[in-house]
Amino acid sequence: MILTGNQINKEWVNNKIVIKPFNKDNITTNSYDLTLGDTLIKYTDSVIDPKLESNITNITIPEEGYLLKKGEFVLGSSAEVIGSNFYVPLIHAKSGIARLGLFVHVTADLFDIGAITCTTFQLYASQPIKLYKGMKLAQVTYWKTMGDIKLYNGKYQSLEGPIQSKISADFIKG
């Protein structure tokens, strides 16, 4: 069951939903709008090997925006820290930005319950588009759970800014 915008606000007031910083103007009918932080990450390896930590470069988004070229892929992050120990957050692109050809967080939209962190956006441009710090880029919805809750305590907990893949750690066993 999805929470309405009014219920998101109530659960935030009751400390059952984390959104920092919180802006009441970002509440919609059944979601909360997330804004883009000021940093992007770009992978620099010619071939990405999931067994190895990838090389990256950090890009600070200038005031005049960052031009994401057609076919370019970068990681960004929400300016907000979000999460909940009571509800499951799901991240979705804002429909207006999707209509401009920017794919946002398409394949990894489910937050683990108990994860309290900035979300890392996967950003792919189907055509050239400018990205601006603070632009409303995505939205988070909150869903009720069924069953016993086991809180997330993994490798992406309590992080700020965009975070590159940590999948290489899954290959390291004992």
**pLDDT of the residue at 123:** 96
Cis peptide before 21 (omega within 30 of 0): yes
Q: Is residue 173 part of a domain?
A: no
Q: What pTM was computed for the model? A: 0.89
Q: Is residue 169 part of a domain?
A: no
Q: Is residue 64 part of a domain?
A: yes
Query: Residue 130 is part of which domain span?
Result: 5-44+55-147
**pLDDT of the residue at 173:** 60
Q: Is residue 168 part of a domain?
A: no
**pLDDT of the residue at 12:** 98
**pLDDT of the residue at 34:** 97
**pLDDT of the residue at 142:** 96
Mean pLDDT by 10 residues, the chain (174 residues): 96 97 97 97 94 95 98 96 95 93 83 90 96 97 90 72 78 66
Q: Is residue 50 part of a domain?
A: no
Q: Is residue 172 part of a domain?
A: no
Q: Into how many domains does the chain fold? A: 1
CA distance 5 to 103: 24
**pLDDT of the residue at 164:** 76
Residue 167, class by beta-carbon neighbours within 10 Å (0-12 exposed, 13-18 middle, 19+ buried)? middle
